[in-house]
Amino acid sequence: MMRVRTIKYTMMIVGSLLIALGTNAFLIPNHVLDGGVIGIALIANYKLGLPVGFVIILCSIPMFLSAWLLNRDIFYNSLTGMLISSFIIDLLSPLQYGVPAFMKEGVLVYAAIGGALIGAGLGLMLRFETSTGGTDLLAHFISRYVPINVGVIILCMDMIIVSAGGLLLGGETFVPSLFTIVAGGLSTGICTLQRKAL
């Protein structure tokens, strides 16, 4: 039991570091969106200057209320994952300002790299029965009842958020953001393809 918990918390931290790296080093400097709650938090960051991790916590409240009613184990695991990842995202926010000038070129490449890192972080967490909350928690619930990979479910929800973000922030964010969510969906799908039974 102790070994299982150690692995789970290790994956929470590793996954959170990947999410924070993808968000702060690749998406924010290039003004690119992701889907899900992170995408909503990025919109709030670009429009209002709010910290991404803080907005993730606020936006996750409705999903955690649902998890409390439906599955207490997922609630506790996901609550921990969400708090850790939100803290690490805001802790590593200085990465936004340390981006070399060459990274301002080739936005599509960096959008895809950022999405792949975030997707891998989410996928690792989901694989070990935890998440960052928000729409990936919702996707986790849906995948239990429909025969669709969780990465595909997240991809569909992400499309909706990125489309809304494109309307709010301008069309130039839309195409790079598509690269982000496609790379993220593929990365999450690969990491959750064969879930580890704990």
Residue 143 lies in a domain: yes
Residue 79 lies in a domain: yes
H or E element at residue 174: helix 174-191
Residue 197 lies in a domain: no
pLDDT score at 99: 60
Q: What is the 3-state secondary structure (H, E, C) of 70-98?
A: HCHHHHHHHHHHHHHHHHHHHHCHHHHHC
pLDDT tens digit string along 19-73? 999 999 999 998 899 988 899 999 999 999 999 999 999 988 887 887 787 777 7
Residue 154 lies in a domain: yes
Residue 198 lies in a domain: no
- Domain that includes residue 177, residue range: 2-95+102-191
For the entire predicted model, the pTM comes to 0.85
pLDDT score at 40: 92
Comparing 138 with 179, the larger pLDDT belongs to 179
Please report the beta strands in 7-146, taking only residues with DSSP state E, as ranges in sequence order.
none
| Total structural domains within the chain | 1
